[in-house]
Structure 1
Amino acid sequence: MRTTTLSLRSLAILGAGFTLLPQAALSQEVAEEGDVVQNADVDDTTPVIVVTAQGRAQNLADVPVAISAVTAETLENSGTSDIRELNQVAPSLLVSSTGNEANGSARIRGIGTVGDNPGLESSVAVFVDGVYRSRSGNALSELGPLDRIEILRGPQGTLGGRNSSAGMISIYTAEPEFQFGGYADFTYGNYDALRIEGGVNAPLSDTVAARIDGVWFQRDGFYNDVTNGTDINNRDRYLVRAQALFEPNEDISFRLVGDYSKKDEACCAATFVQPEFAPLARVSGPTFDGFTYPAAGTPALTDFGPGGNPIAAILVGMGNDPRALTQSTFDRDIYPTAGRSYEGETEDYGISGELNWNLGAATLTSITAYREYSNNQASDTDYTGVDILYRAPGPNAGAREFETFTQEFRLNGSAFNDRLDWLVGAYYANEKLEVRDNLRFGTQYGTFVNCRLAIAVAGILGAPDPTQSNCFSPAAFGAIQSGAVFGAATPAVVAGINNLATLNDLGGTGDVYNQSSENYAIFTHNIFHITDTLDLTLGLRYTNETKEFDATFSNDNDVCPTNRAILGPIVGLSPFFAGILSLSCQGNSTSELDGVSLADTRDEDEFTGTAILSWKPVDDLLVYGSYSRGYKAGGFNLDRSALSNPLTLDVTALDPANLQFDEETVDAYEIGLKYSTRQWGFSLAGFRQEFSNFQLNTFNGSVFLVQNINGCSANLGGADRDTDATTGACAPDDVAPGVISQGFEFEATLSPTRNVNMTMGITYADTTYEDNLVGSDQGDPLDPALRLLPGDNLSNAPELVATSSFTFTPDIGDSGMKGLFFINARMTSDYNTGSDLLYGKEQDGFVVVNGRIGLTNIADRFAIEGWVQNMFDTQYTQVAFNTPFIAPQQTYSAFLAEPRTYGVTVRAEF
């Protein structure tokens, strides 16, 4: 179990803000959906936030579920332009991105989709104006003007369109209004950031209103590509959204929304993890691989001798700039291969219509939407100056394309003299996903991986020689050829090594994976008012999910089948022989798959739902207890490396079932209370969530693994923590949940005067793997690459997170002008960023502070504000990972979080 450490400085920064959450609002009056009701009374000014978390408009304080509601004002002050910035205002939420922003992941209470595989659905579903976004990474773009964001914590198994096992983020954009107006924002910041946003709203008639909004944003990158003379992780994006609102009478409202966004950016660079970030004790570990990482800057770092890093020495010997291996982890100079690119392109567009029709006895809501999303991203996939692995720019560069149609109907009303608030509904989704990939071995791959083999026998034959194509010195290779080392296997070994040395610029030429998903559900959600103060909420949902999969492979790696024919008969005799063949066929990259097609299908049926008992002993206090069951669909690992063991690949017997993973389910229990008045309020929730078939995607340095993680009620005696893939099985009757998330959340707001608002939030989440783990619900052994998981915290799951904010908006003179002082902070305790929890991927606790100061309402229409994000330039990583093909020597890379940014924004309204 990880020890949580907090610095006095961290606590002081958080305490200065005293706040818990973004303006949780609180009133007993019922308002319309999305309304923020402002009381003009000087001492009674906290706004009332109305949410739709239960499918109908309710005041936030009256909803017996854990939910954070963030107002437009808070979003603007905190600089929220995509869902990543929500980290600052919601302590239970963590949003991060890795090798491609399309892979961005959201976690709530430590639970989220782990890994970059688009075949895995999001544990935290994202909706924009009631429309499901196929993956949470799709929302890592400009959002434009917003009305509010609702963050629901815990499984969403009844309402909310798509099922989700950890939570939901519902984003509501600003709607058209029946009055003419417009706005324009201009922002300039460091890294030559330039952002322009504007929009116009106009009534077209007494019944039709329309608005159009646009955002354009450019900024230099945070990484300096020294090799190629460019910058990486830049911004070049825009969004256009047009809307029309039709209200022919007071009973009918129809909103039509169309939007288009595009990104043309270079993403995502990584740096080597160095000892100042990953100290010796954590990198080497007491029992893991035993590699000792020397201090940064010492000559031993690139030596073959004792204490040196032989892989680092190989990289330098093959042309890698040594500065990449000795500079600080957070020095953003990078040294990739010359000519390799991180360029990518993303398009996201769609249209939706929402109808709300008051039928008298009931209200009908219909949301219809069609969306398309596409992304491709080139990469120097080994992140080094040696050309080992890459994706060339173009439409097949790690591309994914989604076409999604969704339809939701809800009918709700009341009965029995308002003793029952009932709701029934249906949901349908049809999603087509295409993944294309052109991952290839680089022009120096053959020499580099032969160096790995040479390192393995260096004690016998001497140091590797990266100046030789096969990385063996003439003397060493002469010894091999003499037969003195490998005896009768010598001819096969010599041929295999020489063939492997020619494996350069070969591999995938255009693999294509298709997955079609059809999902339909029927649901009901009912609130029984047993007494005037006691409510019982019962919800039930039936979901059917069908997924069809097919894949066709294109590959020109002819070295693999050549070496398979040579080494196949002896591969089991020595790990060295197996190493030659494995490196020749790494990730099942082989011309044997060229033109091969596979197909498979899976079908799921699940019942999910919720039961909540809530009681209001007094008007301002709500107490509740709940049980809910959530579900996330299973699917297919869209990666050929999982098809079969590359050592024993038989194209005629490939089984696509090897790519399947099962649905994830969760049973969740929660108790809580909410106290709310106009001037202050708080909420407290305790929770326990038990996950079965937890879907884990991890990269072990060679291939991507997808496993369903479960626990075993019997003691496995440490067999799940060894390197043997055959030990650690569990009897099916003893399989139990494998992941537990439990803890508490506290949120509070305080508005002592009309010009001061404070918030504060604390989440303690002990999100851990069970002590005895297996890799399926049938009790199959856990993959050895995951042997550090049992009993430890999940990746990117800090135990303690706190947020706070302070807003002061004093009146300036009698003209209506106001000042603005805003500051917020997020404190995070220690956590491991790697899905396999390897040593060296741990992130120490840190604090991020944002601020904004300015003058608003100048002449009733202008504002000027200065702002800073990450005020103290806190250096931390989003994810550390095994550097491809280098990780056996405990060499890691990391995707860094953004550094300090600052600038000035000028606003105008008319």
Structure 2
Amino acid sequence: MRKTLLLAATGIAAMALSTAAAAQDAAAPTAPSPASAVDQAAVDGQDDTADAASSDIVVTAQGRSQVLADVPVAISAVNAETLQNSGANDIRQLNQVAPSLLVTSTGSEANGSPRIRGIGTVGDNPGLESSVVVLIDGVYRSRAGIGLNELGEIDRVEVLRGPQGTLGGRNSSAGLLSIISKKPSFTFGANGEVTYGNYDFWRLAGGVTGPIGENLAFRVDGVYVKRDGFYDDAANDTTINDRDRFFGRAQLLFEPTDAISFRLIGDYTKRDESCCAATYVSRTMNEAIGNLTNPVGSVNAGVANGANGNNIINVLRDLGQNLGAFNQNYSRNVSVTPGRTYGGKMEDWGVSGQLDWDFGGVKLTSITAYRDYYNTQAGDVDYGTVDILYNADDGNNRRQFRTFTQELRLNGTAFDDKLDWLVGGFYMDEKFRGKSNLRFGSQYGRFATCRLVSGGGLAALYSPANAGCVASQAAFAGAFGAAGAPILASLLRLDGINDRGSTVDRYNQNATSFAAFTHNIIHVTDTFDVTLGLRYTKENKKFSSTFGNDNVACGQNQAALTPFLATPALQAVAAGIIGLSCQGNSTAELNGVSISDERDEDQFTGTAIASWKPIDDLLVYGSYSRGYKAGGFNFDRSALKAPTLPFANFGGGNAQAGAQALVGQLQFDAETVNAFEVGFKYATGPFSLSAAAFRQDFSNFQLNTFDGTVFIVENVNGCSSSLGGGDRDQNKFATAPNFNAGAVTSGACPRDDVGYGVRSQGVELEATLVPIRDFRVTAGMTYADTKFRDQLVGRASGAALNQALRKLPGQQLSLAAPITVTGSMVFTPDIGSSGLSALFYVDTRMTGDYNTGSDLFPQKSQDGFALVNARIGIRGPSQRWAVELWAQNVFNQDYAQVAFNSPFQEGAVSGAFQDPQYPGGRQIFSNFLAEPRTYGVTLRGRF
């Protein structure tokens, strides 16, 4: 709390200083307030070095070219100069200059996740669309992680905060990132840069533009990046999280008349990189880890030693894991199974054409695009030395999106310019083709049996060198009387599950979306406007999947042990062996099984805004908006199970019918949001200040969580009635006398009582001060109270929330810091009269405490911190050349992007194997770390 208050005070102080400085500069010339609509030429003519006062920045957030200060929407606009100074090569660096935005990446850079006001889509499941949509040159990108590529030469980035339910191509429930590249010029020019930095970082970039004829211009940009990884993998003598990528973009601009403009863009990106490693969370990183990374004194002594350590640490150690891995702090020395790799390949290309045609009073805009995105990713996904779980580097863990989009807009004015109208339509046809090859590793069987035996009453038999991890098979069987023989046989079958699992699971989805929209600005008076927008969206998704699997032990152990589930004394051992034999529904019972499903949905969304300019330099507004994010399918076979069963069961031998009957478990519903906002924007030549207060209520909030065993996709809602703590316990399913007879016993709510599940509310401030020509200061602060509601349920039906999410009710969402403060300063003074100038730049982002895990376990919490980037340089006349020294994360701040449950690495489980002091098991945790300090030198040239 003290850190949060300090950050808040810092932000307020920054705002106060900016305001005070502006007041002292009252004598400075004030730029006239431009009209609310400007010509497209004003957009094209923006200079990179223009002062960043909002009266100079033109945006297209509302489908028209408008001055930022006159747009009654919460929006941050970042120009090319700021992007260059901050070192922004992909959308992650925008964190430093947009306080309401946070972009993270986790197990694959294909899964980058942007959040605005604490709201975003969590996890690595391609079935979930992003809550924050990414558009590049007006073209929708299928998943936000695609924006983690190199961007080339950029004109500006617009960050729209809050739901975008009318314009913006694709619906979004939390916000929009619109990236606009530099277009061709009819004046010849070229630019180039060479950068070298630590970790043997090389970045080569260049571009050329100019006329081909009187009406045709071109532009070509290219970027090549190479860098060593910042994780050290000693076992395989390599580094991880490296860079090896190429980006190219070619454009043609055809302007046969003043009224017609056609821009054709083709781009290509290729990456061949290793991503993404993780380290264990140690007590030095997070005190809540306690003794979870300590081994017990002696596993064979039994669970009485459980309070002094964690039996799973002993198991990992005995199977080859170096204990030092659990106390690495932020050293970035990672544990990887010898021979395993994190290699990944990606290709992303596309073509788009934008036609702008002014018919005289009516303007037509058409954006037609085709995109093809392909990614393969290998991984040692147990994130440790012991070979538990992996994706092979054979190209069969892959995803591909092929997307065609068409957007049409007509806009004009009517009634003597009293009405600024816009109508349009959007169509998308997207095909997803995915494969998964997730397999148990070569040591999984022994790890699983040792996990069982080490955790409870039979720990005296623990012997990792022996089959079944037991010193005496006879003694083990004898502990269960007449049932001992089939239980022992099942334990040995579990012990033999090594290098088994998916041979290739295939996931296909064909999605189409059609939307019709209108957005109208009514000029009631010269100073008062009303904006009304409405959108109708219709979605269809057709899903199919075919599974391949060679784990026969799962079905064999189910057949042998299911009868014992009705016997209280044998339930725990039977469920434990079956559960570990069938983790994630990895079973040959599904081999060759195909399932399919389809969902249709439609939604009305829109906005209503009232805005008033009491004086030329001040805009005051209030708005309501409704946003929407489509529902879909969970591309993960582990969700294929009836909610009352603790393990796979596909219908007594008819797996095809059984799996098809459960396909509904893969569906999740559409997310909707109702948002209210009031704000103001004040802008003069040297100073601007904007503020917004907002409240956003999300229903059917889409949450993706990894619980250490499977991925859970859940719609989160709230109940107006008390659940009596039922959403905070683990008593969701009956456990006796028969698992298969289980029913929800707590946490459910009548449908009529179900409402929103997440509320985000707070205040945003942004200020810019340009007291003199060569000096600019910006500051921003976001206070966002983004919390789950009390009394949570899953889905609109009022079904009980998954017990893995029991920490959520009433808590702040993951990665949603209550306070975030950003600031930047740039000073570019002339050096004598030679035409030379200097560059001094620094930016910072300070954030309060937050939790990095979507299940909000305290072991995943992250203390508040500050990041600082800096750049100094000398520039030639008219900036024809420049030499710059730079550093990112100047003070080498260590922090975790996301922490997660280490796969399958949980201690004592149940029954005879139960640790009585920790009935939920003793989970250990891993985390994806942020980048360390990087620094280097950049040489630039242009003519």
State if a TM-score over 0.5 links the two structures: yes
5 Å-filtered alignment, 1:194-593, equals: 194-279=202-287, 282-283=288-289, 292-293=291-292, 305-306=305-306, 307-328=308-329, 330-397=330-397, 399-457=398-456, 459-462=457-460, 464-474=462-472, 477-482=473-478, 485-573=479-567, 574-593=571-590
CA distances 1:13-42 after superposition (whole Å, capped 9, x unpaired): 99689679xx9x994255434638779999
CA distances 1:682-715 after superposition (whole Å, capped 9, x unpaired): 0010000000000011000101111100000001
CA distances 1:573-626 after superposition (whole Å, capped 9, x unpaired): 312210100110110011110110011100001000000000111111100000
TM-aligned CA distance change 1:641 to 1:531, over 3 Å: same
5 Å-filtered alignment, 1:747-762, equals: 747-762=766-781
TM-aligned CA distance change 1:354 to 1:36, over 3 Å: closer
Q: Alpha-carbon deviation of 1:344?
A: 0.5
Retained in 1: the 8 A contact 2:54–2:68? no
CA distances 1:454-500 after superposition (whole Å, capped 9, x unpaired): 1232x3442632222311223xx432222xx2223212211110110
Structure 2 CA distance, aligned partners of 1:204 and 1:309? 70
Structure 2 CA distance, aligned partners of 1:838 and 1:28? 51
5 Å-filtered alignment, 1:730-749, equals: 730-749=749-768
TM-aligned CA distance change 1:278 to 1:195, over 3 Å: same
Structure 2 CA distance, aligned partners of 1:26 and 1:605? 45
Q: Does 1:127 align with 2:135?
A: yes
| Aligned counterpart in structure 2 of residue 663 of structure 1, from 670, 679, 682 | 670
What residue number does 2:114 align with? Answer: 106
TM-aligned CA distance change 1:41 to 1:729, over 3 Å: closer
Retained in 2: the 8 A contact 1:303–1:309? no
Structure 2 CA distance, aligned partners of 1:41 and 1:120? 39
Q: Does 1:117 align with 2:136?
A: no
Q: Alpha-carbon deviation of 1:115?
A: 1.4
Structure 2 unaligned residues grouped into runs of 5+? 23-30, 733-743, 907-920
5 Å-filtered alignment, 1:606-621, equals: 606-621=603-618
Task: State the superposition RMSD in angstroms.
Answer: 2.3
The two structures have a TM-score, normalised by structure 2, of 0.91
Structure 2 CA distance, aligned partners of 1:894 and 1:73? 34
5 Å-filtered alignment, 1:782-793, equals: 782-793=801-812
TM-aligned CA distance change 1:109 to 1:4, over 3 Å: farther
TM-aligned CA distance change 1:7 to 1:871, over 3 Å: farther
Paired AA for residue 767 in structure 1? T
User: What is the percent sequence identity of the aligned residues?
Assistant: 55
Structure 2 CA distance, aligned partners of 1:882 and 1:40? 45
Retained in 1: the 8 A contact 2:166–2:519? yes
CA distances 1:340-396 after superposition (whole Å, capped 9, x unpaired): 000010100000000000011200000000000011110001001000000110221
Paired AA for residue 228 in structure 2? D
Structure 2 CA distance, aligned partners of 1:406 and 1:132? 8
SS at 2:463 equivalent: coil
CA distances 1:279-318 after superposition (whole Å, capped 9, x unpaired): 0xx336xxxxxxx4367x9989999845122111111110
Retained in 2: the 8 A contact 1:38–1:47? no
Retained in 1: the 8 A contact 2:430–2:510? yes
What residue number does 1:807 align with? Answer: 826
Retained in 2: the 8 A contact 1:19–1:806? no
TM-aligned CA distance change 1:413 to 1:846, over 3 Å: same
Q: Does 1:861 align with 2:857?
A: no
SS at 1:212 equivalent: strand
TM-aligned CA distance change 1:45 to 1:486, over 3 Å: closer
Q: Alpha-carbon deviation of 1:168?
A: 0.2
Structure 1 CA distance, aligned partners of 2:792 and 2:449? 35
SS at 1:724 equivalent: coil
What residue number does 1:28 align with? Answer: 34
Paired AA for residue 354 in structure 2? E
SS at 1:143 equivalent: coil
Q: Does 1:57 align with 2:58?
A: no
TM-aligned CA distance change 1:47 to 1:218, over 3 Å: farther
TM-aligned CA distance change 1:239 to 1:808, over 3 Å: same
Q: Alpha-carbon deviation of 1:788?
A: 0.5
Structure 1 CA distance, aligned partners of 2:87 and 2:381? 32
Retained in 2: the 8 A contact 1:349–1:373? yes
Paired AA for residue 704 in structure 1? F
CA distances 1:661-691 after superposition (whole Å, capped 9, x unpaired): 0000000000001100001010010000000
Paired AA for residue 448 in structure 2? V
TM-aligned CA distance change 1:423 to 1:876, over 3 Å: same
Structure 2 CA distance, aligned partners of 1:763 and 1:162? 26
What residue number does 1:191 align with? Answer: 199
Q: Alpha-carbon deviation of 1:327?
A: 2.1
5 Å-filtered alignment, 1:626-645, equals: 626-644=623-641, 645=645
SS at 1:532 equivalent: coil
Paired AA for residue 560 in structure 1? C
What residue number does 2:152 align with? Answer: 144
Retained in 2: the 8 A contact 1:400–1:433? yes
What residue number does 2:708 align with? Answer: 701
- Number of equivalent positions: 888
TM-aligned CA distance change 1:312 to 1:256, over 3 Å: same
Structure 1 unaligned residues grouped into runs of 5+? 285-291
Q: Which moved more, 1:795-804 or 1:851-860?
A: 851-860
CA distances 1:694-748 after superposition (whole Å, capped 9, x unpaired): 0011000101111100000001110111102221111100001000000000000
Paired AA for residue 740 in structure 1? R
What residue number does 1:889 align with? Answer: 922
| Aligned counterpart in structure 1 of residue 595 of structure 2, from 598, 620, 629 | 598
